Structure 1
């Protein structure tokens, strides 16, 4: 699972740019503190090491100066554990951890979030009937938001060389529209043109690229936050998985 933050990062003026507390170390520490990291831990008294349960294993993290306008100012990558049958992909805690890490380094002005979602790790047939889209259990978290917090977004969903997303595009929009929630209100959808997709910050072989088969979806989020984007991404992942998608998805959520 991978995330890229687009926009602008203003580094804290008091922070030493050569500090040992870089994005990798900060993300690791935050993951451990929140119980989100899979790691080997040794019990007291020299007993055999046991694996502490978590949501992901560390892979890579970067936050700093961009070299080109189209590049993200921060990237985070983890090896995602297979979620429990009644739990969504942990996109919401993943983005929260990335957001907290970024806030230690500078002030972020986020214009877009791009995610690589490993749908091949989901098993929709094993979902309980009352948890087909597990993120629905937490949609009320966004219920107490001021009306002015609602934000228009444009979403691009791409299945790379696999044509699965265009094949189920209308069904996916229908599924999202029938969910009993107002954290995200879907609007118009269409085919994704090549220039509408943010270029992924990794090689095509890393997923199933290049982005060739995609769709766009406009709608309204309850708020512009990593929390809301993470919830939306997990909801789209499970909905697409139930419609038969088994390939990694490149998902971009652009504000405005």
Structure 2
């Protein structure tokens, strides 16, 4: 999984820019503290780790307080473990960890979030019949949000050079709109075949170039990485159930 955070980041005045607590170290420590990263140092612990694996392995992390105008101010990449049958793709904790790490470095004004979802690692057949979209089990967390916190967003879902997302666009929009949840209130499907933001990486990093995409609009319960992560996990499972098996670039922009 990969995430890019767009907007503005104002560094904390008290923070030493040369501190050893850089983005990689902070993301690593937050992952360990929350049990999202499992690093074992002995063979005896390997067996225990196999029974209770972490959600990801560290790959890279970078936060910049002076990015180029069109560049994200933060990027994080992890190697995601295959989720067990009744658990969603761990996008929500991944984005929460990215948000927490960034908050240690500065104050962010977030305008957009881009996530690369590894749908090739999802197996819809492994989902229990009573929980085909596992993220739905946590809707109540967002039901307690202040109703005034709802924000309109635009969502781009792109399958790169693979046409799979375009071929299921209408059905995906229908399925998302009929889920028993109110975290995201789906509006119109604005377009098919376009993307709302350019990818934050080169074509050879995923399945680029971004030729096949759809754009959705609606209202999200809150403008946070937590809510965007929930939305991303839900879209991932719905797309996987429709046969999409290629990485998806999800771009969520605050309207």
TM-score by length of 1: 0.95
Equivalent residue for 1:76? 76
How many residues are paired up?
251
Equivalent residue for 1:60? 60
Q: Does 1:35 align with 2:31?
A: no
1:131 aligns to what SS in structure 2?
coil
Equivalent residue for 2:86? 86
CA change 1:240–1:193 in 2 (3 A) is closer
Taking the aligned partners of 2:128 and 2:97, their CA distance within structure 1 comes to: 28
Taking the aligned partners of 1:68 and 1:192, their CA distance within structure 2 comes to: 29
Task: State whether residues 4 and 75 of structure 1, in contact with CA within 8 Å, keep that contact through their aligned partners in structure 2.
Answer: yes
Equivalent residue for 1:253? 252
Shift of 1:192: 4.9
Taking the aligned partners of 1:127 and 1:144, their CA distance within structure 2 comes to: 27
Task: State whether residues 228 and 252 of structure 2, in contact with CA within 8 Å, keep that contact through their aligned partners in structure 1.
Answer: yes
Task: State whether residues 166 and 192 of structure 2, in contact with CA within 8 Å, keep that contact through their aligned partners in structure 1.
Answer: no
Deviates most, 47-56 or 24-33: 47-56
1:21-52 CA-to-partner distances (Å, cap 9, x unmatched) read 0000000000001000132233xxxx734263
1:211-249 CA-to-partner distances (Å, cap 9, x unmatched) read 110000001001111111000000000000000100000
Deviates most, 96-105 or 67-76: 67-76
Task: State whether residues 136 and 181 of structure 1, in contact with CA within 8 Å, keep that contact through their aligned partners in structure 2.
Answer: yes
Shift of 1:69: 1.1
Taking the aligned partners of 1:15 and 1:197, their CA distance within structure 2 comes to: 35
Equivalent residue for 1:241? 240
Task: State whether residues 9 and 107 of structure 1, in contact with CA within 8 Å, keep that contact through their aligned partners in structure 2.
Answer: yes
Equivalent residue for 2:134? 134
Equivalent residue for 1:9? 9
Task: State whether residues 166 and 191 of structure 1, in contact with CA within 8 Å, keep that contact through their aligned partners in structure 2.
Answer: no
5+ residue gaps in structure 1?
none
Shift of 1:197: 2.9
Shift of 1:134: 0.2
CA change 1:178–1:32 in 2 (3 A) is same
Q: Does 1:48 align with 2:44?
A: yes
Task: State whether residues 159 and 207 of structure 2, in contact with CA within 8 Å, keep that contact through their aligned partners in structure 1.
Answer: yes
Equivalent residue for 2:224? 225
Task: State whether residues 177 and 186 of structure 2, in contact with CA within 8 Å, keep that contact through their aligned partners in structure 1.
Answer: yes
Taking the aligned partners of 2:44 and 2:186, their CA distance within structure 1 comes to: 51
Taking the aligned partners of 2:247 and 2:21, their CA distance within structure 1 comes to: 31
Taking the aligned partners of 2:236 and 2:199, their CA distance within structure 1 comes to: 18
Q: How does 1:75-154 map to 2 (within 5 A)?
A: 75-154=75-154
1:245 aligns to what SS in structure 2?
coil
**Root-mean-square deviation over aligned CA pairs:** 1.3
Deviates most, 196-205 or 210-219: 196-205
Shift of 1:11: 0.2
Shift of 1:193: 6.0
Task: State whether residues 156 and 192 of structure 1, in contact with CA within 8 Å, keep that contact through their aligned partners in structure 2.
Answer: no
1:163-220 CA-to-partner distances (Å, cap 9, x unmatched) read 01111111111111111110001101133565x4322222211110011100000010
Taking the aligned partners of 2:109 and 2:192, their CA distance within structure 1 comes to: 26
2:130 aligns to what SS in structure 1?
helix
2:209 aligns to what SS in structure 1?
coil
